[in-house]
Amino acid sequence: MNKFLSKKDRRELEEAHRAESSQRHADRIKAILLLDSDWPVNKIAEALLLDSNTIRRYRELYKDGGIENLRSDNYLGRSSKLSTKEEESLKKELRRKIYLCTTEIIGYIKTNFNMEYSRSGIT
């Protein structure tokens, strides 16, 4: 792959990387910088502990919208199984008591709302 960043673009990415507080966004910026440095996609994926398709996706994100696209997270998660009233009740409980693990919260929800959540779902 040939270099595709101008000196100005590369400088902007390097500055953005230094200023980035999100590890995820910093990795996306690093991937673009490494691609521009002629690193193979599979080596970048290995170095960043990601898969090759993710690196290619980052390249497309950058190509389509620049740095701001790399910093964008469009994941919104799923909607809650709990009603608004149940969510408020759960929030009140979580302010009242410190739960040490997600399984305790899952148990509370099961007991009080007869609703089942997975560990990743509750997180």
In Å, how far are 28, 61, 65, 75 from 72, measured between CA atoms?
10, 9, 10, 9
Q: What pLDDT score was predicted for residue 75?
A: 60
pLDDT of residue 5: 95
What does pTM read for this prediction?
Answer: 0.60
pLDDT for 104 equals: 95
Query: pLDDT tens digits, residue range 19-78?
Result: 999 999 999 999 999 999 999 999 999 999 999 999 999 999 999 999 999 998 776 567
Helices (H), the chain: 7-19, 23-36, 41-48, 52-70, 84-96, 102-113, 119-122
- Sorted by sequence, the CB contacts under 8 Å of residue 22 that are 6+ apart come out as 71
Please give the Cα distance from 98 to 54 (Å, whole number). 37
Regarding predicted confidence, which is higher, 123 or 112?
112
Alpha carbon of 40 to those of 25, 29, 55, 73: distances in Å?
A: 20, 16, 10, 25
CA distance 39 to 8: 20
**Confidence tier at 120 by pLDDT (50, 70, 90):** confident
> Considering the chain, what percentage of its residues have pLDDT values greater than 70?
96
The single-letter code of the amino acid at 68 is E
Q: What local confidence, expressed as pLDDT, does residue 65 receive?
A: 93
